[in-house]
Structure 1
């Protein structure tokens, strides 16, 4: 019986368990670490993008609406003739423009200003008012001069021609100006991204050419600013 017991104690129950592959364990750990690192990097990137977007929105709603005031302070119209047989408008319009920064802590960077002049909804000229960008410091005003001069083909219908004849009789012409701007706002070392506002001014400009008897004087109009974020409109 003792011999049988010894045989049982030394009995073979199955094949030996092979040792684990250490290289496999290392590969598994490496893949797991890479996955965690990639996940952490993705979360960090999303968080940074969200913070930048939030700062952009806050700067827009807090700073941008009162960032500047554009006004046409003076306008002189010395030529405005329309020939009905060939639909040619001849014109010369000189403008004085002011850009006021009313804020105490903010600098406004004007990277581009484009202006277009329209009559009865028809654009007859456009000008780039900023060859180089400039900035307007807090509580400061920058002045610009602009001249629209030349001739342009515009197609006025019967109603438009009737309005032109009325303006001609009165010696005062209704001219619309549209300004498309590209600006940035700075507070200290922080400068926002680019904003693309639009400004529209409705002018009533008396003709001051020789022989004109109109005694009307130009009155500074109230311009309306539309604060937009989007692609700069090159068709201004």
Structure 2
């Protein structure tokens, strides 16, 4: 058995996203087929939650083309400063600033997989913040910079965003909240919540506007915590 979060857009309350942890049967193994068996089990358990209908897996292991396209490895936004599309993953990794170096902006031209594996991200000391397009981002709220990058990319992909209304919750089978903070499925749920509340354009007008609107809002998780936006539990 395993436990993983299910991210549910909240359209009315103070919280923008509700996080519910569910237990499900885990299928061991690194193959795509094994991962997708775990996805199926996770979604079956998620649909037992009140108000949950269709659930979308957002990762490269998603059985649905939409979910795979929404992976941070695949989702790109056009970057005029680079002259080529930039994946969310490369933008995030290449913008990290450490005690002993960074941002390593050459990572912007890497593949998403190579970007995440770059050795400098592990040997440059403590992470101190982010610098993207000459804008400094703090570490708090914890997922604010990642969510900003993801949402800015997704809002220009209307071909993908228009399909999200069919789903009531989102998962990422690769995300383990005991080991990671940022989660692409959470970012999708946040995007849907902002869109449905008719405040997407307002909140993405600038980094300051995003931090002002999103930063003080709570996240309600299955563990009963009520903490600042950007924390998963």
Query: 1 or 2, which has the higher helix percentage?
Result: 2
Using structure 1 for the length normalisation, give the TM-score.
Answer: 0.23
Which structure has more relative contact order (CA 8 Å, sep 6+)? It is 2
